[in-house]
Amino acid sequence: MELSFWDYLIFFVFVGGVALFGCSFYKKSKKGASAFTKAEGSIPAWVVGMSIFATFVSSISFLGLPGGSYAGNWNQMVFSLMIPIATILAAKVFIPLYRGVGSVSAYQYLELKYGYWARCYVAVCYLLTQVCRVGSILLLLALPINTMFGWDIGMVIIVTGLITLVYSILGGISAVVWTDAIQGIILIVGAIACAVIITWGMPEGPSQVFSIAAANHKFSLGSTALTLSQPTVWVVMLYGIFMNLQNYGIDQNYVQRYMTAKTTAEAVKGTLFGGLLYIPVAAIFVYIGTALFSYYSACPELLPAGTTADKVFPYFIVHGLPAGVTGLVIASLFSAGMSTVATSINSSATIVFTDFYQKLFPSAEDGKKHMRVLYLTSAVVGALGIGVGLAMMSVDGILDAWWKLASIFSGGMLGLFLLSLVCRKPDRIASIVAVIAGLAVIAYMSLPVFKSPIHEYLVVVFGTSVIFIIGFILTKIFHGNK
């Protein structure tokens, strides 16, 4: 597709500028493992907040939310409206808990409660999740870039992965959170620009967006029927509560940001700011999908026949935006993907270093050796993520299959964590039995061979609940009221 000189210029200046800015933190990050993994607790609250916001947003949100609302309604917003529950709990429970433990790893707390087996199990699950997350994000980023620029998908995956890998290795967590902040700002500006241009581009004025959308029930939050087989308001609400609790309660990406803040109070401010910022931004993306529906309903000749819902927004970005704004929005899309990939690479390296290397070599105090471990691990995770992204290109339905598998991992993680919060000393055998039972339930609900009638959003809800309930009951039986 034809793009203007200004579009290319803005895009390349942004990508190059972000990479160079990230690399500029090399001197700070090479001071030692503490600088590389938690910036020695020196990050301002607003940067922590913007980084948490950028971590939450990805190329999936950037394209998925408009695509979903274009094809359906505002059902996806129910998920976002559950974020305040998780952010309040993060402020009251999670942040003081992790900063009290004092480890940059989210999973040392589980070792204190259950023993090293729980920490090892959850860390392995997390690493598997992040490697595949890197691959899936790179692929999802490459697909619209291929549509817009015509560039080879495999080459986009490799180049994007390498650029992000370089600055995340050289700059450490400081580079990740500061570039997150810049990318988050660019993303918000790009989203607002799209929403305004679509709204004021309606043939009969802005009010036409709302009249067409309302006539087609586009502002509905979804069905309120009492069924577990459809993404009703209640199903999405439960999914949003559990997934957001998982993100803010045990996801290393978030916990690591809690540790980068100067104080606990600063971490709380940043987390509340970043979490709550996502709600209006998500609303903008959902609105974009609704506005595009109204726009192309009023001007059907502007959209090629057969264009699928997830490709409508990329098509509009190239053909419906003024020169320069297109480059800005493409840069916004790229920013969402780069931010997510850099976060996963750094957090994975941190987990390997803290949860495995330091456990195997607890007396090792060689700062240079520590940095080599972190650099090597980052490179391996980045390379594996690029490989997974390339492999996903030739497999139909691999993304859906992977997210179901990720639910298996994450369900066990969250269930163990919630059990540890309620039980002062959870029984080890009871916990293992509970995890096995929970994973069996999750596998039944996730794997196509069983044809579970329950909607996939409820996988993490049922899996987590089973682990918590069984673990609690067995611990109560084995230890009484202690």
**Mean pLDDT of all residues in 304-333:** 85
Q: Answer whether residue 464 shows pLDDT above 70.
A: yes
Residue 403: predicted pLDDT? 55
CB contact set of 468 (below 8 Å; sequence gap of 6+): 415, 418, 419, 422, 434
Q: Let me know: does 350 contact 97? Beta carbons within 8 Å.
A: no
Q: Answer whether residue 139 shows pLDDT above 80.
A: yes
Residue 210: predicted pLDDT? 95
**Tokens matching residue 374:** 């972190």
Residue 414: predicted pLDDT? 86
Residue 183: predicted pLDDT? 84
Residue 434: predicted pLDDT? 92
Q: CA 464, CA 418: separation in Å to the nearest integer?
A: 8
| Choice between 338 and 70, residue whose per-residue pLDDT is larger | 70
Q: Which of 201-215, 332-346, 430-444 has the lowest mean pLDDT?
A: 332-346
Taking every pair of Cα atoms in the chain, the longest distance, rounded to a whole number of angstroms, is 72
**Mean pLDDT of all residues in 289-307:** 93
Q: Let me know: does 419 contact 426? Beta carbons within 8 Å.
A: yes
Q: Let me know: does 346 contact 338? Beta carbons within 8 Å.
A: no
- DSSP bridge pairs for 338: none
**Tokens matching residue 235:** 């199903």
Q: Answer whether residue 412 shows pLDDT above 80.
A: no
3-state secondary structure of 261: strand
3-state secondary structure of 23: helix
Q: Which of 142-151, 231-240, 432-441 has the lowest mean pLDDT?
A: 142-151
Residue 392: predicted pLDDT? 80
Give the count of beta carbons closer than 10 Å to the beta carbon of residue 62: 27
Q: CA 136, CA 49: separation in Å to the nearest integer?
A: 25
Q: CA 199, CA 205: separation in Å to the nearest integer?
A: 7
The chain-wide mean pLDDT, for the chain, equals 87
**Mean pLDDT of all residues in 163-169:** 90
**Mean pLDDT of all residues in 432-454:** 86
pLDDT band, very low/low/confident/very high, at 141 (cuts 50, 70, 90): confident
- DSSP assignment of 383-432 equals HHHHHHHHHHTTSTTHHHHHHHHHHHHHHHHHHHHHHHHH-SS--HHHHH
Residue 297: predicted pLDDT? 94
How do residues 92-122 score in pLDDT, each as one tens digit?
Answer: 999 999 999 888 998 999 998 888 988 998 8
**pTM of full prediction above 0.85:** yes
Q: Which of 8-22, 222-236, 407-421 has the lowest mean pLDDT?
A: 407-421
Amino acid code (one letter) for 293: F
**Tokens matching residue 270:** 């940043």
Q: CA 271, CA 96: separation in Å to the nearest integer?
A: 12
Q: Let me know: does 411 contact 374? Beta carbons within 8 Å.
A: no
Report which DSSP code applies to 353.
I
Q: Let me know: does 171 contact 23? Beta carbons within 8 Å.
A: yes
**Tokens matching residue 378:** 């980052």
The HSE-up count of residue 343 (CA atoms within 13 Å, CB side) is 33
Instruction: Write down how long the chain is.
Output: 482
Residue 401: predicted pLDDT? 52
Q: CA 90, CA 106: separation in Å to the nearest integer?
A: 13
